[in-house]
Structure 1
Amino acid sequence: MKVFSLPRRGSILVWTMAIQLALCGSVVFATDGTKACKLLSESVSERNVLNKLEPLAHKNFTVDATIGEDSYTYVFQLCGDAGGVPGAGVIQVDKKSPKKITVIGQYNSTKAIGGSDWVMLIYNDGDTYDAHCSKEKRKAIVMISCSTSTDMGQLEVVMEDRERTSECFYLFELDSKSVCPTIQSHLSAGSIILIIGFCLVAVYLIGGFLYQRLIVGAKGMEQFPNYAFWVEVGNLTADGCDFVCRSQNREKAPAYRGLTTDALEEEPEERDDHLLPM
């Protein structure tokens, strides 16, 4: 019994560890996002452009299109296996022969160019052409433009430019708000506080006026909310300003006073009788 119990416990432990590793691997893959893309020339700027597209990761975008007499289904995935094809970023499926799958571009050979409201994603190293473009490898260009009303738009095929000797490409378009510029508020904290203060004062004045007029039935200046309080505040403010700002005593200076009749009567009367001739 002991001989068989050890391997059984060991096998259970091994299976448990295997399941845990598989789950961890799936979690890591799910959280890789744009990091799964391998840039042709690794740079901080291109990596930042790719990071803008993080909301689009791990999603297949499909579109049907007719080129000439042939009908195809195109599948695009950002930094992931399009249609389940390993390494393929964009694939082409022939509707007449669904098993015929052509890899247009691989996410292991990526180039990302970004502007203020757009991102150009280029997948290189697709399957080679049979008779066009000097039998060079296919290349997919996905133009992702800003659309504030669209989380993830519909993939559209614009053109396949293969009537040249080199640098042929497939061009796709996709709208998404993930590449839209972030709108930053230009209001400072002080401005926001002032706006809130003005709004509160307006609500107080309008609400108080309506209450005094419609509920209390006040007329004239009494319609102003808390009229008696604000009048008293105004008087106190004026008194305080008068007390602080004036530098001299407010007592009246002595004014000029004329002589009274009593004072004139008390003065001795001068006589000039001795000046008359005898």
Structure 2
Amino acid sequence: MTVGIISLNFFLTIVSVAILHQFGSLNPVAAVCQLSFVDGHKLFNFSLTSPIPKFPHGVLSEDGFYKVAVNESVLWFQLCNGMIFNHDPPRCVDCQDCGGPLHCGMECSALLANNIGGYDVCTTIGDVSSTITSIIDKQNPHKGVIVTMSNYVKTSSGSENCSLSVSVICDSNGVQGPHSLEKLGTCNYAAVLQHPSGCAVVVSVHGRGWGWFGILVIIILCLFGGYMLVGAVYRYFFLGVRGLDMIPNLDFWVRLPQRTQSYCASLVRKFRRPTEGYRSSYSPVNF
């Protein structure tokens, strides 16, 4: 019965993990802000929104947004999530894809305002659904990650893919930046942020798992546990058996250790007999 209960707990644990993983995959923050990278025998885990000392929201700005102003351009963005403005909201023209004039900046993850003819014109250059997280340098995974967000913007010639790439550099001492904004193309920008969330959690990986033999053992154990559980349930509810007698084929399992011991003893005697016969063929010799 104990084996059956253990197997049932194992099965329920697997199902629970699968359900939690499924619900976690529906969360856009969890999807875009977690990254695992294997390098040799080390597993680098990045989780930008996990709570860490002094930063309960991870890399997310507690103000609801980051802001960078360079020359005539102002950029608002929030890594891995949509922006929230409780103060200093964007005030610019053409903010339809990011909340409209009444909620400008509330429905996107990166918004750029350029001063054109005395007016600030908004361009949505990032969205949570199109955010990708990648390693900055695969030769040096400790350096950090790049969070890239993009959005298609309608233009007179059709549409153009605008983007913002934020390098989250590992810095265990605190947060620095973003202080500058680099323009890489027509509407492609890059910024740098130093943050403790950019530091990976490194786990040592030994070997490559159990392989086919381990899977076979797990399958056999699961089948055995299922057999014990189903048999115990059947005997309890349909036959009215209680106590240890609920275990199917109890006599066989009770006698199994004794039978195993007898079988091992017979094998030992079988291998000893030729040796003893060989030794008895010698006669003592007196010198």
Scaled by the length of structure 1, what TM-score is found? 0.41
Which has the bigger relative contact order, CA under 8 A and spacing at least 6?
2
* Structure number, greater radius of gyration: 1
Scaled by the length of structure 2, what TM-score is found? 0.40
